A and B are shown apart, each in its own frame.
Chain A
Amino acid sequence: SQTIHQWPATLVQPVGSPLSLECTVEGTSNPNLYWYRQAAGRGLQLLFYSVGIGQISSEVPQNLSASRPQDRQFILSSKKLLLSDSGFYLCAWSVALTEAFFGQGTRLTVV
């Protein structure tokens, strides 16, 4: 069966520090991968999606970036965090036209 791992679960980082959140999927090949952010009281906002290794599409301009070095690995990064980057980050995967399945999320607090 397919599983998705996302870590870390919580992170507190100072403003200006770098960020790296990792997500891996098991049990499926060539999944579509997504990074979402959920701000308090708001819906999930799609940040990045990837349909294959090295293929990244950005939905929202920001100081975050994403990379997909391997088929089932998706990384969210930043060189310098801003206060406004605080939020709950969710990784998800899907295959073709199916529903998406989510990881457990990372609660990021930028101080």
Chain B
Amino acid sequence: EDKVVQSPLSLVVHEGDTVTLNCSYEVTNFRSLLWYKQEKKAPTFLFMLTSSGIEKKSGRLSSILDKKELFSILNITATQTGDSAIYLCAASVAAPYNNNDMRFGAGTRLTVKP
């Protein structure tokens, strides 16, 4: 059975702190690892990682994938209150018709206090 596990489930930090969110996966026909940020309703896309060891960066956020150890991390430096959200990790699996079939983790709820 496909499995995507995120840790921690929740995290409370203060502004300016650096956080690391973890995602491990065990899925059949793995294709890529995706990170989403969900603030109120629709998850918004952050990163898609396909290759091991190549860091992707967007401002204060960065992410990297380890396909040998089957995990990914999402780093947020100099956190701000606006970073408070649920961060979702998903493993995309190869499916018929080039369908982007994703298996999601339970998410990490990040709360950044002023």
Residues of A within 8 A of B (CB): 32, 36, 41-46, 49, 51, 90, 94, 96-105
**Partner pick for B45 among A42, A96, A99, CB 8 A cutoff:** A99
Q: Are B99 and A43 in contact (CB under 8 A)?
A: no
Q: Return A12 CB to nearest CB of chain B, in Å.
A: 17
Give chain B residues whose Cβ lies under 8 Å from the Cβ of A36.
104
Given contacts A97-B31, A99-B48, contact A46 B102 (CB under 8 A): yes
* Chain B binding surface, main DSSP class: strand
Q: Are A32 and B100 in contact (CB under 8 A)?
A: yes
**C-alpha gap A42/B105 in the complex (Å):** 8
For the complex of A and B, the 3 pairs showing the least CB-CB separation, nearest first, are A43-B104, A44-B104, A102-B42
**C-alpha gap A105/B43 in the complex (Å):** 9
Q: Are A105 and B42 in contact (CB under 8 A)?
A: yes
* Interface Cβ pair total, 8 Å cutoff: 57
Give chain B residues whose Cβ lies under 8 Å from the Cβ of A32.
97-100
Give chain B residues whose Cβ lies under 8 Å from the Cβ of A101.
45
**C-alpha gap A32/B98 in the complex (Å):** 9
Chain B: residues with Cβ within 8 Å of the partner, total of 26
Give chain A residues whose Cβ lies under 8 Å from the Cβ of B99.
32, 49, 51
**C-alpha gap A101/B97 in the complex (Å):** 18
Given contacts A45-B104, A99-B100, A100-B102, contact A90 B43 (CB under 8 A): yes
**C-alpha gap A43/B81 in the complex (Å):** 23
Q: Are A94 and B42 in contact (CB under 8 A)?
A: no
Given contacts A97-B31, A99-B34, A99-B45, contact A44 B98 (CB under 8 A): no
Q: Are B100 and A98 in contact (CB under 8 A)?
A: yes
Give chain B residues whose Cβ lies under 8 Å from the Cβ of A102.
36, 42-44
